[in-house]
Amino acid sequence: MRKFRLRVWLWRAGRACVAALCSASAVFAAATPAPFSPTNIFAPDSTPARSIFRISAFVLEITGAIFVVVFSLLAYAVIKYREPKDDDGHEPAQVYGSNQMELAWTVLPVLIVVVLFLSTAQVIHRVQDARAPADALQVTAVGHQFWWEYRYPQYNFSTANELHVPISDPGHAVPTYLGLLSADVDHSFWVPRLAGKTDLIPNHPNTTWIDPHQTGIFLGQCAQFCGTAHANMLLRVYVQSPDDFQSWVHEQEQPAVNDPSTAAGRALFVAKACFACHTIRGTMAAGKVGPDLTHLMSRDTIAAGILPNTPENLRKWIQDPPAMKEGALMPKVDMTDEQLTQITAYLETLK
Ligand code: HEC
Ligand SMILES: [Cu+2]
């Protein structure tokens, strides 16, 4: 009779476990609809991200197997050796000094840890010690409170917040190697589908690399708390076909458009001290505190990815930056409505 009740109990417990697993995987599936979220760590699309994904799946499999074995043994012991109704209070037989058991629970975990250690070390080596091939694209990313500067030393221009790189298909690998610097505090470069996090530390240059296998936009986020607007310091990586990338580079290399019809706005850019913080190549503006605006209109977003780059947003931004992005380090500059219209019109010519 007791045996029978035990079996019923085990059957019910098993059914409950299966139901829990099913609903957990349903929740998981609902949380990761296809097409995948742009920051899905389970959809890597570049070698470093893929290596990290594989090693974490491997660690999860091993630790999952350990969990299942330990939990099953525990459940078995708890049920099988629970206090019987007719317990006489006797202490059960005690087992001391079983060499076999002691060896088993020492050697097995050590082996598991060695395997995990070696496979992790191998992935770290493959990701961190990779040498840049001669034709790799070099970009220097500089973290600023609260935006990203991207310098292209091979081409002599710099841009902000929207990193453009060529696709690196297996037939013709063109990886992008990123030097990571900081202008102020710690930041962290994290585009989950392309690579793991790497910090940008003041006075300590770091590097990372990506080789995206697909064109498209890959999103990320500064992953190290860097101040008030940290959560609004978004990352956007535009992966382009080789032709599209080359024509983008060609456009970026040009000096700023000089449209005489917006001369009033251009003069205000100097009169209102904007030039002290921003560079517009081809004019006297060579400030380095804020984003390079030479080709501002070639960007989809402003303020580190938080606002679509529309005339309306641009005007509101110039009118009162901290109102659009709490904590932004661009000051509110006093202007009349007419001046605001003129300066916005000027910036809109910077294609
Ligand atoms: C004290 C330095 C400083 C001054 C002066 C300044 N800016 Fe800025 N500006 C910044 C910083 C810093 C940012 C980046 C803000 C962020 O995204 O957190 C910025 C961002 C911008 C952007 C958005 C660029 C992008 O791609 O996201 C525009 C446009 C802009 N400034 C225009 C102006 C204009 C016009 C003036 C003059 C009225 C001006 N700025 C004066 C520092 C300054
Ligand atoms: Cu940051």
Residue 219: the pLDDT is 96
Q: pLDDT of 58-114, one tens digit each?
A: 999 999 999 999 999 999 999 998 888 888 888 888 888 889 989 999 999 999 999
Short-list 138, 144, 149, CA closest to 186: 144
Which of 315-319's residues contact partners 24+ apart within 8 Å by CB, and which partners? 315/340, 315/341, 315/344, 318/343, 318/344, 318/347
Q: pLDDT of 186-198, one tens digit each?
A: 999 999 999 999 9
Residues with Cβ within 5 Å of ion ligand 2? 187, 222, 226, 233
Residue 52 in tokens: 């990290």
Beta bridge partners of 235: 220
C-alpha 142/C-alpha 150 separation (Å) is 6
Residue 22: the pLDDT is 43
Q: What architecture is domain 260-348?
A: Sandwich (2.60)
C-alpha 262/C-alpha 337 separation (Å) is 16
Q: How far is the CA of 303 from the centre of ligand 2 (A)?
A: 13
Read off the pLDDT band of 14 (50, 70, 90): low
Residue 8: the pLDDT is 56
Domain boundaries along the sequence of the chain: 137-253, 260-348
Give the percent of the chain with pLDDT over 90: 81
- Contact indicator for 187, 149 with CB cutoff of 8 Å: no
Pick the residue with more confidence: 13 or 136? 136
Reply yes or no on whether the pLDDT at 24 is more than 60.
no
Q: Say if 137-253 and 260-348 have the same CATH topology.
A: yes
Read off the pLDDT band of 1 (50, 70, 90): very low
Give the Å distances, CA to CA, from 86 to 8, 61, 90, 311, 339: 21, 42, 11, 83, 93
Mean of the per-residue pLDDT values of the chain:
90
Residue 15: the pLDDT is 57
Residue 248: the pLDDT is 97
Residue 33: the pLDDT is 44
Q: How far is the CA of 230 from the centre of ligand 2 (A)?
A: 5
Which CATH code, of 3.40.50.300, 2.30.30.100, 2.60.40.420, 3.60.20.10, is assigned to 137-253? 2.60.40.420
Residue 295: the pLDDT is 97
Name the closest ligand to CA 221: 2
Alpha-carbon 181 to chain mean position: 16
Count of beta carbons in the 10 Å neighbourhood of residue 286: 12
Short-list 296, 262, 264, CA closest to 278: 296
